[in-house]
Chains A and B, each alone.
Chain A
Amino acid sequence: MSEAPHTVKSYEEELKNLNSNIIKMGGFCEEALGKAIQAITTRNSDHAESVIKDDEKIDKFETLIEQQVVNLIALRQPMAIDLRETVTALKISSDLERIGDLAKNISKRTLLLNEYLPKNLVDALVRVSSNVQKQLKSILDAYLDRSSSMAMNVWESDEKIDDLTNLCMQEVIKYLKENEKNLDDGTHLLFVTKNIERIGDHTTNVAEQVYYLVTGEYLEGDRPKGTEPIVTGEK
């Protein structure tokens, strides 16, 4: 936010409110992601269930933010930084909502998984997911601090996530190859891995938005990509 406050105080209030709603929504997403990861790595179905239940909250936040944005555009006609603030809030909120959905999906699949998973696989999952978690946390911090360099860092480290996802995929494939009985769990794990990667992608989207919000410029060029994935979930 710019240093000087708005002449119209209620306008200032509305923008601050929008801002804090994004932060809160981001907080809920972080929590959902954390719990989903914990649920899958520690086999805790309580966590998984709470994530599924709490997704509703995140969805409500998205609706709220959307309304606030529409009101701001219609009634305040924001310009420059305020305009970017408003527009990015809309886009960030939809990315966050997707993150929430994906966390919910992970949790749903977690409930269907067997008790025992190979350590290598869990380690790989933990590696990629903790990285994604870190990304999400730092991009929310970047948004709070209006830091374009932090956003840039997040954007660039998406490459690492892709690599880690590939490693994790390899573990899952290995797991699948081990036993035909693993087919059910393996498929779920493939989706879980893919979802974690998707969350990383959404985090990168948010990073792009934060960068635009702060600098008014778009992050140019293709998003950094890791080595081509061996197995693709969707696409």
Chain B
Amino acid sequence: MNKNKEKLLAKRYSSEKRFQFLGKSAIFMALLFLAIFIFKIFSTGYTAFQKTWLIVPVNFDAETMYLDANPSKEDLEEADYFEISLQSMFNLDKNANEKQQNELKKMVSYFFEREIKQELINDPSLLGKTKDVYITASDDLDQVFKGNYPRDLPENQRRVTDYQLKIFDQLVEQGKVESKFNLSFFTYPDSREAELAGIASSFMGSIFSILVCLAIAFPVAVLAAIYLEEFAPKNRFTDFIEVNINNLAAVPSIVFGLLGLGILLAVFQLPRSTPLVGGITLSLMTLPTIIIACRASLKAVPPSIREAALAMGASRMQTTMHHTVPLSMPGTLSGTIIGLAQALGETAPLILIGMVAFVNTIPGSPMDPAASLPVQIYIWAESAERGFVEKVSACIMVLLGFLIVMNLFAQIIRHKFEKKWS
């Protein structure tokens, strides 16, 4: 008897230990996956925040640009920089033949003319002088410099020629290659050229979409939740509505995309590819999430508070507006932010309503065409160029950062309001 008891006790302890071990290993696994994911993203993505510049001496020769000695600002704007730009590239190897000259030109981005022009406009006194100018290297050389490019491949299998590599190595030796923080990643819109591609357009697109989504979903959802929870009679019809709201929350997002496509674009003729349409579509998706969060936090308001207000002679409306709703706000707001964060990461419906289009301008309003961050990731991940690989990871980092900031905000709101009321 006693021995049996002891055996049983030992068994109970060991099963508890086993259970704890399983739990701990589950957590360890989860953390491991997360670590691998984050490591992968960061290790491939961090280089995207650096950009390789070639320092090339440029001779701002007035004659070549058909300018007089004291040109006006307009003259500088309209002058022809192509010739001096080409010339400064050719000067890197004075003995280059025509083919090699062409290769020299391709060592920098097609943007180089504009960069040289900007330099002169910023400092007109350079006219007639020679100055070292930072020029964005082509994405292939960028990758070479970052060490992402296998140099041992046979020449016909890589996009950088042996000649380009030779010149590049010379420049590296002279200290004429520099890597600096890639500001253009944040300020430039998308581009076909990896070295010039930025997230400004998709970032703004995302922000506009979220704002539109918030502006539509929040008031509608909160009003719906308040009515359902506080005023609607409890009958079969409201039960039916409740079930359907819960179902709506489980509808795959692509269905909402189709809805946006079929109704917003086809019927209402709203402009394609715009954050307006994207925001409305996302708001449909967010609506049930916010309704559910809001109803849950309305339910969590102790009935004693409602009774207290009613017993003081407050009407139902006053009870709701003065007491219940303010008390439910922290929960509602954090639910809203979680919903918005979900919407922020949504890709499928946005692709359907055309936000996948290539947009190389930065949108100034929700009516302008734009991409969004997750869609940008999708676009870049599809691209063949080596330079986009790191951009995808970088974009993911930005998106994750955005989400973390939003969730942090949700937590802060929650804490702030709860402290005030407890």
A–B direct touch, CB within 8 Å, in complex?
Answer: no
- A residues neighboring B (CB under 8 Å): none
